[in-house]
Amino acid sequence: METKGFTDQVDNYIHHLRRAIYQPVVERDVGHAPIDRRKASLLLLPLLNGEQWTDEMQTAALAIGAIHTAFDVHDQIDIVDASSKEQQLMVLAGDHFSGIHYKLLASIPNFHLIRSLSSAIGRVNECKTTLLQAPPTTVEERLQLIAEVESACIVKFFESFGFSRYVHIVETVFPFVWLLDSRRHDLNRMKFPHLVPSTHETQDWIDQLQQQLNDRLENSFYLHTEVIAELQKMTNQ
Amino acid sequence: MGLEKIKLMSLYTDFRKDMSYIEKELERSVQSSSPIVRQASLHLLKAGGKRIRPIFVIMAAQFGTYSLENAAKIAVSLELIHMASLVHDDVIDDSDMRRGLETVKAKWNNRVAMYAGDFIFSRALTSIGNIEKAPVHQILAETMLEICKGEIIQIDFQQQTDQDLRDYLKRIKRKTALLLSSSCELGALSADADSQTVRKLKRYGYFTGMAFQIVDDILDITSTDAELGKPAGSDLLNGHITLPVLYIKDDEQFKPYMKRAFTGVMEESDRQAMLRYIRQSGAIEKAQHVSDLYLIKALKELESLPNGKSKKALTQIADFIGQRKY
């Protein structure tokens, strides 16, 4: 697969996701929903790697994209004052995207995925609350929670459709890119900027996770070289 | 527990065992490994509520092949969806008090309220996820989206005085009536009731829900702060035009009150004067009349359903809604 094919497939997915979650008032007053391209690419990893991709998988993937977007919008609610019209609409936009996620799963219908994703959504919100209000003291524990927040729904998706062999990749990439964002001082993009470790510690963990990712990619014989190249680009230091 | 709630609970007498099971299931559903999420979820749950959605599910399910286990999954799910929306509504309205208790956002902060609401929503889906009937999920998903759309429109309409009765009714349909309608519909579907019965119960829930919200909007003006557990007139202070206000919004003497209320900050004496003005204007009686018309329609839907303890209780609930004081 060429890089252009990779980009086109992600673009195509984002286009469909944008259409699925469209809400005219929100779009007019708040603007485009923040769709995380990196997360979309990791969700589509099996497709990009040439796995058979059914209509059911496509619908379920859109449902996961909708719930991810809901999470991301709700993460932007001001901790103290959400009284502006824009913030009020963002609360509701997140709820709307959650509803779209459920509607998509109900349209398949995939009861197993409704159950397993609901447990992942619950877990994500538990982890986010812990990271916000009572974060663990060690960087390792924090990174574990961040990995869960970002990957839990994708993991359930992979497990549901027989793509479990991709789980370890996404679980490594998410905490890794969180650290990379912090080193690039990309604080607007990242979640939980208040948990960024010291520069020295960040570098140590980046090195460690880079090594871990390299080992995993090396052992993932089923990954096409183009996909490996894209993953490396995503985690480029 | 307030007198009104005791009155309502007395209508549930025949279903006390079922409701007690649902209460336990609700509590079990919001258990969490995160102490803050658990506290935040239980905080609202323990504050109580009328549990009108669960009781509608239970009563509607009596018209088919009743299974408490199945009905409870739906009842818990609907009550949790309602709870999750309340937690988020308090962020939107910047409310510090609900049911006489501090809101989640006031006790912790907005972000915890967002996460707690999303967590409760996830538990709602966990509960209903065990019902493997596609229409149940499709109806609930559609209902959730419509409720959300209603809230978005409400924000969009905030402080807009060029609204008419049609706008208001469409809004309260989404805000309240749809979830009550779905409670009855899904309860009946869970028990495989026949399609005519499902339809009648769905319509009963819808009409009752419309009346319920109109009465709620009336009570926001006629009740005391203590009865409401929040300042009376909160709807207007939040820029929402409800039915009684709709009737006097063009009154020249009322307009200055409305303008000041929309700033969100009003002197206490000014707020009281505004409430007195609405109460004596005749708008409350007009709104009450509309609510009564919906209740008559609701009761009509029940007429052809088989007699029994469920029909009796649904009739009494409709009567209660028309007469409730807070």
CATH number at residue B163: 1.10.600.10
Q: Does A118 touch chain B (CB under 8 A)?
A: yes
Q: Does any CB of chain B come closer than 8 Å to the CB of residue A59?
A: no
Q: Do A91 and B92 touch (CB under 8 A)?
A: yes
Task: Quote the CA–CA distance of B2 and B4 in Å, as a whole number.
Answer: 5
- Note whether A115 contacts B: Cβ–Cβ < 8 A: yes
**Could you give the C-alpha distances from B205 to A146, A215, B186, in angstroms and in order?**
43, 59, 11
User: Mean of the pLDDT values across residues B210-230?
Assistant: 93
Q: What is the mean pLDDT of residues B64-71?
A: 97
Domain hosting residue A203, numbered range: 3-234
Query: By mean pLDDT, which of A172-176, B41-45, B299-303 is the weakest?
Result: B41-45
Confirm if B60 and B38 have CB atoms less than 8 A apart.
Answer: no
Label residue A2 by pLDDT band (50, 70, 90). Answer: low
pLDDT tens digits for range A102-115: 999 999 999 999 99
Residue B124 is predicted with a pLDDT of 98
- A82/B152 touch (CB, cutoff 8 Å), yes or no: no
Q: Tokens at residue B266, please?
A: 């009003």
Q: DSSP readout, chain A? A: --HHHHHHHHHHHHHHHHHHH--HHHHHHH-S----HHHHHHHTHHHHTT----HHHHHHHHHHHHHHHHHHHHTTS-SS---SHHHHHHHHHHHHHHHHHHHHHHHTT-HHHHHHHHHHHHHHHHHHHHHHHS--SSHHHHHHHHHHHHHHHHHHHHHHTT-GGGHHHHHHHHHHHHHHHHHTT-TTTSS-GGG---HHHHHHHHHHHHHHHHHHHHH-TTS-HHHHHHHHHHT--
- Whether B118 shows a pLDDT value over 70: the answer reads yes
What is Dmax (Cα atoms) for chain A?
A: 52
Q: What is the pLDDT of residue B159?
A: 84
Average pLDDT of the residues in B50-71? 96
pLDDT of the residue at B1: 53
Q: Examine the pLDDT at A217 and tell me if it is beyond 60.
A: yes
**A228: amino acid identity, one letter:** I
> Mean pLDDT, chain A, as a whole number?
94
Instruction: Match 């995925």 to its residue by tokens.
Output: A113
Percent of chain B at pLDDT > 90 equals 83
Alpha carbons B153 and B158: distance in angstroms, whole number: 8
**Could you tell me which residue, A209 or B158, shows the higher pLDDT?**
A209
Residue with tokens 């409730």: B324
Please answer yes or no on whether B129 and A111 come within 8 Å at the CB atom: yes
Q: A191 pLDDT band (50/70/90 cuts)?
A: confident
Q: Are A127 and B124 in contact (CB under 8 A)?
A: no
| Contact of B39 with B86, CB cutoff 8 Å | no
**Which amino acid, residue A213?**
L
Pull the structure tokens for residue B247. Answer: 């009737």
What is the domain extent for residue B181? Answer: 3-323
Q: What is the mean pLDDT of residues A140-152?
A: 97
Banded pLDDT at A7 (limits 50, 70, 90)? very high
Tell which wins on pLDDT, A39 or B4.
A39
Question: What's the total number of domains in chain A?
Answer: 1
Average of per-residue pLDDT across A220-226? 95
Could you say which of A23, A114, A126 has the minimum Cβ distance to residue B32?
Answer: A126
* pLDDT-derived band at B304, boundaries 50, 70, 90: very high
Q: Could you tell me what percent of chain A has a pLDDT over 70?
A: 97
CA–CA separation, A111 and A94 (whole Å): 22
Using alpha carbons, select from A94, A25, A84 the residue that is nearest to residue B153. Answer: A25
Question: What is the pLDDT averaged over residues B123-140?
Answer: 97
Quick check: A1 pLDDT over 70?
Answer: no
Kindly state the percentage of chain B with pLDDT values over 70.
98
Under a CB-based contact definition with an 8 Å cutoff, are residues B92 and B223 in contact? no
| Number of domains chain B contains | 1
What's the gap in Å between the CA of B112 and the closest CA on chain A?
6
Cβ pair B158, B240 in contact under 8 A? yes
Q: How far apart are CA B273 and CA B134, in angstroms?
A: 52
Note the pLDDT tens digit of each residue in A8-46: 999 999 999 999 999 999 999 999 999 999 999 999 999
Q: Which sign, positive or negative, has the C-alpha torsion B7, B8, B11, B15?
A: negative
Mean pLDDT of B252-277: 92
What's the whole-number mean pLDDT along residues A69-93?
96
Q: What is the mean pLDDT of residues A132-144?
A: 96
DSSP class of residue B250 equals T
Please check whether residue A88 touches B, CB under 8 A.
yes
Q: Is the pLDDT of residue B60 over 80?
A: yes
Phi-psi region of B31 (alpha: psi -120 to 50; beta: other; left: phi over 0): beta
Dihedral (CA of A223, A229, A231, A235) sign: positive
A181's tokens: 């964002």
Instruction: Please tell me the predicted confidence (pLDDT) of residue A45.
Output: 97
What's the gap in Å between the CA of B95 and the closest CA on chain A?
10
d(CA B225, CA A28): 37
Mapping DSSP onto H, E and C, the string for B74-124 reads: HHHHHHHHHHHHHHHHHHHCCCCEECCEECHHHHCCHHHHHHHHHHHHHHH
Please report the pLDDT score of residue B57 as a whole number.
Answer: 98
Q: A122 and B134 in contact by Cβ < 8 A?
A: no
DSSP E strand boundaries for B154-261: none
Taking 90 as the threshold, does the pLDDT of residue B261 lie above it? yes
Residue from B114, B154, B171, B175 whose CB has the most chain A CBs within 10 Å, to mutate: B114
- Residue pair B89/B130 in contact by the 8 Å Cβ criterion: no
Average pLDDT of chain B is: 94
Q: Write b or e for each residue in A70-84: b if 16 or more Cβ atoms lie within 10 A of its Cβ, otherwise e.
A: bbbbbbbbeeeebee
pLDDT the model gives residue B71: 98
Question: What confidence category does residue A170 fall into, taking pLDDT thresholds of 50, 70 and 90?
Answer: very high
The residue-averaged pLDDT of A169-181 equals: 95
CATH number at residue A220: 1.10.600.10
B324 — pLDDT class (breaks 50, 70, 90): confident
In chain B, how many H helices and how many E strands?
18, 2
Identify the CA nearest to A121 among candidates B114, B143, B134. B114
The predicted structure's pLDDT at residue B303: 97
- Chain A interface includes B94 (CB < 8 A): yes
